[in-house]
Structure 1
Amino acid sequence: MKFGKEFPAQMVQEWQEAYIKYDDLKTLLKDILNYRQVNLLSSAKQASRASFKRNVTLYRAFSGLTSGYNRSRDSTSTEDEVIVVGAVQEGSSEQYQTMVLIALDEGGEPEAAFFRRLDKEFNKVLKFYRAKTGEVVKEAQELNKQMDALIALRVKVDKPLLASMQADFNNRGASLNLSIGRRKTVSHMDDIQEDEVSQEENEEDDEVSQHDEGKTSEQAEADTAGPKMPSLEVLERVKINVEAETPVTTLRRIFASSQSELSFSKEELRKVEEQMKRAFIEFYNKLRLLKSYSFLNQMAFSKILKKYDKITSRNASKPYLEMVENAFSDSSSEVSRLLERVEATFIKHFSNGNRKRGLKILRPHSKKERHVVTFSIGFFFGCSIALLVAVIVLVHARNIMNSDGRQQYMENIFPLYSLFGFIVLHLIMYSANIYFWRHFRVNYSFIFGFKQGTEMGYREVLLVSSGLAVLALAGVISNLDMDMEPRAGSFHTLAELVPLGLIILVLLIAFCPFNIIYRSSRFFLIQCIFRCLCAPWYKVTLPDFFLGDQLTSQVQALRCLEFYVCYYGWGDFKRRSNQCHQSDVFEVIYVIIAVVPYWIRFLQCVRRLVEEKDRMHITNGVKYLSTIIAVVMRTGHDLKWGGGWKIMAAISSAVATMISTYWDIVIDWGLLRKDSRNPWLRDKLLVPYKSVYFIAIVVNGVLRFAWMQSVFGFYEAPFLHKKALTAIVACLEIIRRGIWNFFRLENEHLNNVGKYRAFKSVPLPFSYDDGVGGKHA
């Protein structure tokens, strides 16, 4: 693969604006090439005239072999020197500038433009890299202080005798050096010593002291003079924050401080170690990406300068690349040393010295594509298509659509199986989202906060959806076959229990505790659902409100779940009949079920308003309140509560739809910006075809208004049952949500790119009295 294609593929997508603009520089090189080609003809004419002059010189006097030797040597050295690179101090920052030593008639102007742009890109890259390096150095300082507290806590919890000895020494005023053996140079991120007092620790201290810069001989002797004990005084200056967020802790935070005193329990130590492990992993990944950023940009500079040398037949790459290497050397060595020290610290303190296991945890695992997944997708989709054709043939062959039991089947059995149809369609749309997110390099796994290496790709989601489709369609065929077969009268009860068996099977798989069928993703989904149901008692993250929006598009699926409970709990499923809609309790729950997803989103907006103080969440909350009113009015009209409900449902639905459509397009998608570089879209677009965005805007608006068919009574169709029409409208809403998902995450990704947010914010367990501690990004 050519470097021009490999370079963007290996970028940290959130930092892509900070990389060298390789394609732009290649364009400038093409300009240089075109300039040289245009002037080639004129150069040839000049050469012919010069040849005539050379013929004349054959008849001139001979001037000797050595008279012009020194001058020719000097001119040759001057000609070889194409550029001069130097650093210029501009304010508080250092800028690198290149002087081009080429005459204008030899292509000096386009080549000077190339080096001006090259300098601009290099200064941008270097500034960003040094700023990020400064950030990781500060984070290393913070992690050092956190490790001081962790080691002291380990001693206090696991070695109470050692802790009491130190306290006794302190009370007697013994002048012992109780430092943990941490190096003073933060950039080296020293491996903090373990709590055991052993000769091995003394040897490690000797090694550390040899590398420390700026230590006096007295300090070196103090560091190596005898066994060291970690200082427990640090525990008097820290508070702990390791409680998992629950509704109880949220209430406690409202009425009291969120930080608590140390209790020195083993459970507290375990939670601290888990948080520190996550912080080290995230910090290590940041260092790895910084190192990759440095390497890729230096490689890009090398490639583009070699292209320049090849086009111009000059030798300008060597001095410029030496300058690039020297400018990056200090920061690169800083990052490399930090990587080594983080590895050593993590292996020693979080993997019991097992280097292989420690590096396996630290370094992200690339997800391997498995051929069995691809094969299974094809197999299940083939089975799904075959079963779907079989269902159609069975319905047509037995004239089920015109049978006496059609109405009974549509009222009782169709809602049970339509639940699986809604779920399968949503999964298919989600797999399409993942495919296009990957295609356009949207970092969806980081945005959602998936654990690296466990996120499901589009193939895995398709596998789950196709497998569920096979189960559901097989259930439909078995139900129809047992129901319609004359000799199957004894199996009538079993046929009615098929949908219940399917839903139980799906729930068992979802809550299966064993590490099968994508356990990490299943538990992540269950956790997000639980946090949504407990809103606003949990801090709202993007996966929480993103899932809340998905639930608003699955109202009919939730109503199908309610029907399951009613049909098998209080209905007469043996006779395929129910009186659910004759029950006042069912109708009340029918309304509540439809309102719950929008109410969850409203409560999430309230929580975000309290925490972020952003008034935009007020408007978003009002949007969901208007939708709640519209849903109640529309449901009242569906349940025929009175003639006035139709007018109220029409008005409220129209208002809510217009507000939601505007919010989708302008706020969630960030489109319709009249002053943008792409008129009526936004400045940055991932999809190269602008028409796609305009089509999505129109489709979103049309599908938003599709739900209003229930208000205007488009149910009357001789060939289409009311339940089927409701299912079709629900499917259209799921498709609309799938389209919304792509552009919503695209906008979120671009916001992260604009703010260079490529890492999660990891909470740290200890908060120092001096204000250090709390969060590590």
Structure 2
Amino acid sequence: MKFGKEFASQMVQEWQTAYMDYNSLKNILKDIMRFRQRTQTAAPTPAGSSSSSSLKRRVSLYRAFSGLTNRYNNFRNSHHNDTFAAADDDDHVILVNAEEGSGPYQTKFMLSSEEGGQYEAVFFKRLDEEFNKVVKFYKDKVDEVMKDADNLTQQMDALIALRIKVDITPISIELSKVPAPAATGRRPGRMDIIEEVDQMDSEGGMVGKEQKKTNNSSSAGFRRSPIEVLDHVKMNVEAETPVSTMMKLLKSSNSDLNCTKGELRKVEDILRQAFAEFYKQLRLLKNYSFLNQMAFSKIMKKYDKITSRNASKAYLQMVDKSYLGSSDEVSKLIERVESTFIKHFSNGNRRKGMKTLKPQARREKHRTTFVMGLFVGCAIALLLAVIVIIQVKNILNSPGRQIYMDNIFPLYSFFGLIILHMLMYAGNLFFWRRYRVNYSFIFGFKPGTELGYRQVLLLASGLSLVTLAAVISNLEMEIDPRTKNFPGVTELVPLALLLLLLLITFCPFNILYHSSRFFLIKCAFHSFLAPLYKVTLPDFFLADQLTSQVQALRSLQFYICYYMWGDFRRRNSSTCLNHNVFKIFTIIVAVIPYWLRFLQCMRRLVEEKGKAHIFNGLKYFLTIVAITARTGNELKWGNIWLITAWASSIIVTILATYWDIVIDWGLLRIHSKNALLRDKLVIPHKTVYFVAIVLNMILRLAWMQSVMGIYNVPILHRQALIVVVACLEIIRRGIWNFFRLENEHLNNVGKYRAFKSVPLPFYYDQSTKHP
């Protein structure tokens, strides 16, 4: 793999604009190479000519005077004014200068008077711009992590003091407040913990400069006990639950530090996660420094090769002595974080601690691809078998066709809708990975547990295989003389399949992607209890998926009705479908996903105070009105429902289409660099975006079929038409998913968000000074 591709593949995508623009610099070198190829027949300047001697004399004017004694060198070093030049006597090419040793760095190309020298001067000018950009970004990020390190230091002070308070008896706490004697005698056994706290700095804890000075100055006299830190600290580690949310509405949260051991464990879990995220940030920053140094080395060596000069030595010497190459704060912090985490969160077990700090990425297994291919092949074979059975037995023209479509088809259509959604999600994962959209970070998946498109295709193909086998068994049992006398048994096949799916989904054992299954369950739980939980992106993203699965939810409603009313014994759902309770719940079930999104918008409005959430909530509220009116129209409740359905559906369709394209996708920007799109795009082909816009508009109109009264199509049964419309909505949602997450990813790129922030459990009282 060429370095350019390897460089792009290892970038932190959220920081990609802060990396050295390797491709643009390489394009300038290509211009230089093309110019040299056009002029390669020109005779070279003889060695020792007047131009060469004048060049040497001109370069000497820029060299620092070494002084008559070494005192001048000391003076120069004290002012950190670094000058680097190509030192080869036969080739004086560049002169690099940096004020105060940290930039801005300026490179003077000494051969600009030569023919074609303007190309090389442009190259070095652009090279300086890129290097100064990289150094500035790196320095800013290092300053940020140093501040975060100070915050984590204070958090550790409070945690250790809290451990002492919770784990040690009150008598020991009082003894801890007594100043330590000057003698070197050993303290009582219980006080070993406090002594360990005092020695934390020398054993790898993260301590800021000011705190080190304080510790050194206090070591000669009395040392403040860590337990007194709690006098200036408040804590809020109460897990967000529906009960805690309601309590916050009634009274302020409790920040008293009289916590139990269970609450102490919560504090430790939060800080463990905070350290893991901080360690990830440090590793990303270290990798950023390494990759950019490698890129500057590669581009300078490429320059030397094309121009046959020797400029890389001086320039890379400057890179090595710059803040990017010489700063060791990040490396030291990495060592201290490892030491602190292993000691305080892993009981000294380095393997366990490093496993948490450096989670292993999921490895693609050949057996996953093999089993997926096997399932896909078997599913295709079963699908062909279903078609053959239907044609051979002439089931579509049999008298029982209408009964089958009204009763059995809705049961199996549920699985078909779920499988289609999984296939669309697998396609999303494939293209997200191809275009380097950091979906794992955006969704907040635990590192090493996120599913790839192969795993999702494996699950989808496995469910397809089982579903088609159930369909065939149901058809065979219906026409088999030995079993058709027991229709009640044949009707239980779809129910058994549904129970199997639910059993696998909620299986508590660590099998079949346990982490991903419970992540899905947690997000669904938070969504269904909106607005009692804080709304995160996975929660409202899942709720949006549910709005496209209204027909699947209605199929679940039909399952309950069909089997609880006992209609499955006679394969006749008329009792269920004609019941008023079922009709009312038909509206309620369809409204539930949109109501959840409305509540989530209201929760975000209260917390974030954004006006956009008002309009988004209004959109979902109008959708609820439209669905209610459409369902009333389908149930023939009167003309008023038809008029309301028409008006509300048109308004919602226009509003939702605008929101999808402009707000969720960020497209149709008038003053964008890319006409009618947005400034940044991850797909190089702009046509794809316009096709997606048109498809979204067309598929948005699919749900209007119920308003327009299109219930019967000559070649399709009414139930089949409903499923086809539901499939079109799922396809639209799959397209929406890709561009919605692409826009979220680009927003993270614009703000350099490459890691999530963990709310820390302790906060210091601003009115008092931290001891």
2-side partners of 1:223 and 1:463: how far apart?
Answer: 63
State the Cα distance separating 1:403 from its structure 2 match. 1.0
State the Cα distance separating 1:444 from its structure 2 match. 0.1
Q: 2:637 aligns with which of 641, 650, 659?
A: 641
Tell me if the contact between 1:153 and 1:269 (Cα under 8 Å) persists in the aligned partners: yes
Partner residue of 2:287?
A: 292
2-side partners of 1:771 and 1:462: how far apart?
Answer: 57
**Cα deviations by residue, 1:395-446 (Å, 9 ceiling, x for unpaired):** 1111111111111111111111000000000000000000000000000000
Q: Does 1:131 align with 2:145?
A: no
Partner residue of 2:83?
A: none
1-side partners of 2:124 and 2:456: how far apart?
Answer: 48
Partner residue of 2:332?
A: 337
State how many pairs are aligned: 731
Tell me if the contact between 2:29 and 2:123 (Cα under 8 Å) persists in the aligned partners: yes
2-side partners of 1:275 and 1:441: how far apart?
Answer: 30
Tell me if the contact between 2:138 and 2:324 (Cα under 8 Å) persists in the aligned partners: no
Q: Could you tell which deviates more after superposition, 309-318 or 710-719?
A: 710-719
2-side partners of 1:267 and 1:281: how far apart?
Answer: 21
Partner residue of 1:760?
A: 756
**Cα deviations by residue, 1:620-645 (Å, 9 ceiling, x for unpaired):** 11111121111111111111112332
1-side partners of 2:252 and 2:107: how far apart?
Answer: 57
Partner residue of 1:557?
A: 552
Partner residue of 1:523?
A: 518
2-side partners of 1:201 and 1:587: how far apart?
Answer: 67
Tell me if the contact between 1:391 and 1:477 (Cα under 8 Å) persists in the aligned partners: yes
Q: Does 1:466 align with 2:477?
A: no
CA shift in 2, pair 1:622/1:499, >3 Å: same
Q: Does 1:724 align with 2:720?
A: yes
Q: Could you tell which deviates more after superposition, 730-739 or 329-338?
A: 329-338
2-side partners of 1:540 and 1:213: how far apart?
Answer: 39
Structure 1: runs of 5+ lacking an equivalent: 55-67, 178-193
Tell me if the contact between 1:400 and 1:406 (Cα under 8 Å) persists in the aligned partners: yes
Tell me if the contact between 1:571 and 1:577 (Cα under 8 Å) persists in the aligned partners: no
Which residue identity is paired with 2:645?
A
State the Cα distance separating 1:332 from its structure 2 match. 3.6
Partner residue of 1:599?
A: 595
Which residue identity is paired with 1:435?
F
CA shift in 2, pair 1:542/1:298, >3 Å: same
Partner residue of 2:124?
A: 115
State the Cα distance separating 1:772 from its structure 2 match. 11
2-side partners of 1:661 and 1:558: how far apart?
Answer: 23
**Cα deviations by residue, 1:133-168 (Å, 9 ceiling, x for unpaired):** 0010001001011101111111111122xx533424
State the Cα distance separating 1:119 from its structure 2 match. 0.5
Which residue identity is paired with 2:235?
I
Tell me if the contact between 1:84 and 1:100 (Cα under 8 Å) persists in the aligned partners: yes
Pairwise mapping of residues 417-436 of structure 1 onto structure 2 (< 5 A)? 417-436=412-431
Tell me if the contact between 1:426 and 1:738 (Cα under 8 Å) persists in the aligned partners: yes
**Residue 97 of structure 1: SS of its match in structure 2?**
strand
CA shift in 2, pair 1:772/1:731, >3 Å: farther
Pairwise mapping of residues 587-736 of structure 1 onto structure 2 (< 5 A)? 587-736=583-732
1-side partners of 2:179 and 2:717: how far apart?
Answer: 89
Tell me if the contact between 1:240 and 1:260 (Cα under 8 Å) persists in the aligned partners: yes
2-side partners of 1:217 and 1:772: how far apart?
Answer: 20
State the Cα distance separating 1:213 from its structure 2 match. 8.0
**Residue 104 of structure 2: SS of its match in structure 1?**
strand
Tell me if the contact between 2:567 and 2:576 (Cα under 8 Å) persists in the aligned partners: no
Q: Does 1:747 align with 2:743?
A: yes
Q: Does 1:271 align with 2:296?
A: no
Q: 1:406 aligns with which of 377, 401, 420?
A: 401
State the Cα distance separating 1:222 from its structure 2 match. 6.4
2-side partners of 1:217 and 1:339: how far apart?
Answer: 22
Tell me if the contact between 2:14 and 2:745 (Cα under 8 Å) persists in the aligned partners: yes
Partner residue of 1:167?
A: 174
Tell me if the contact between 1:133 and 1:331 (Cα under 8 Å) persists in the aligned partners: no
1-side partners of 2:389 and 2:210: how far apart?
Answer: 86
Which residue identity is paired with 2:145?
V
Pairwise mapping of residues 387-402 of structure 1 onto structure 2 (< 5 A)? 387-402=382-397
CA shift in 2, pair 1:203/1:401, >3 Å: closer
CA shift in 2, pair 1:720/1:208, >3 Å: closer
Partner residue of 1:483?
A: 478
CA shift in 2, pair 1:428/1:212, >3 Å: closer
1-side partners of 2:743 and 2:324: how far apart?
Answer: 36
**Cα deviations by residue, 1:707-726 (Å, 9 ceiling, x for unpaired):** 11112222222331100000
State the Cα distance separating 1:251 from its structure 2 match. 2.3
2-side partners of 1:505 and 1:169: how far apart?
Answer: 59
Tell me if the contact between 2:150 and 2:208 (Cα under 8 Å) persists in the aligned partners: no
Tell me if the contact between 2:531 and 2:603 (Cα under 8 Å) persists in the aligned partners: yes
Partner residue of 1:30?
A: 30
Q: Does 1:242 align with 2:251?
A: no
Partner residue of 2:6?
A: 6
2-side partners of 1:223 and 1:417: how far apart?
Answer: 75
State the Cα distance separating 1:727 from its structure 2 match. 0.3
Tell me if the contact between 2:172 and 2:191 (Cα under 8 Å) persists in the aligned partners: no
CA shift in 2, pair 1:464/1:452, >3 Å: same
2-side partners of 1:292 and 1:355: how far apart?
Answer: 22
Which residue identity is paired with 1:530?
F
Tell me if the contact between 2:164 and 2:193 (Cα under 8 Å) persists in the aligned partners: no
**Residue 660 of structure 1: SS of its match in structure 2?**
helix
Which residue identity is paired with 2:159?
L
CA shift in 2, pair 1:198/1:682, >3 Å: closer
Considering only aligned residues, what root-mean-square deviation do their CA atoms show, in Å?
3.0
Which residue identity is paired with 1:14?
E
State the Cα distance separating 1:263 from its structure 2 match. 2.0
2-side partners of 1:39 and 1:431: how far apart?
Answer: 54
CA shift in 2, pair 1:646/1:333, >3 Å: same
State the Cα distance separating 1:218 from its structure 2 match. 11
Q: 1:148 aligns with which of 148, 157, 168?
A: 157
2-side partners of 1:253 and 1:89: how far apart?
Answer: 53
State the Cα distance separating 1:225 from its structure 2 match. 10
2-side partners of 1:375 and 1:699: how far apart?
Answer: 34
**Cα deviations by residue, 1:452-479 (Å, 9 ceiling, x for unpaired):** 1000100110111111111111111111
Tell me if the contact between 1:684 and 1:750 (Cα under 8 Å) persists in the aligned partners: yes
Tell me if the contact between 1:482 and 1:491 (Cα under 8 Å) persists in the aligned partners: no
CA shift in 2, pair 1:577/1:99, >3 Å: same
Give the fraction of aligned pairs with identical amino acids, expressed as a percent: 59
Tell me if the contact between 2:289 and 2:324 (Cα under 8 Å) persists in the aligned partners: no
Tell me if the contact between 1:21 and 1:121 (Cα under 8 Å) persists in the aligned partners: yes
2-side partners of 1:598 and 1:544: how far apart?
Answer: 13
Which residue identity is paired with 1:536?
P
Pairwise mapping of residues 245-394 of structure 1 onto structure 2 (< 5 A)? 245-328=240-323, 332-394=327-389
CA shift in 2, pair 1:112/1:421, >3 Å: same
Partner residue of 1:184?
A: none
1-side partners of 2:723 and 2:520: how far apart?
Answer: 25
2-side partners of 1:21 and 1:10: how far apart?
Answer: 14
Partner residue of 2:97?
A: 86
Tell me if the contact between 1:291 and 1:332 (Cα under 8 Å) persists in the aligned partners: no
State the Cα distance separating 1:38 from its structure 2 match. 2.5
Tell me if the contact between 1:85 and 1:320 (Cα under 8 Å) persists in the aligned partners: yes
In the superposition, the TM-score normalised over structure 1's length comes to 0.89
Structure 2: runs of 5+ lacking an equivalent: 62-86, 183-189
2-side partners of 1:152 and 1:254: how far apart?
Answer: 31
State the Cα distance separating 1:771 from its structure 2 match. 8.1
Tell me if the contact between 1:142 and 1:772 (Cα under 8 Å) persists in the aligned partners: no
CA shift in 2, pair 1:772/1:350, >3 Å: farther
1-side partners of 2:58 and 2:414: how far apart?
Answer: 88
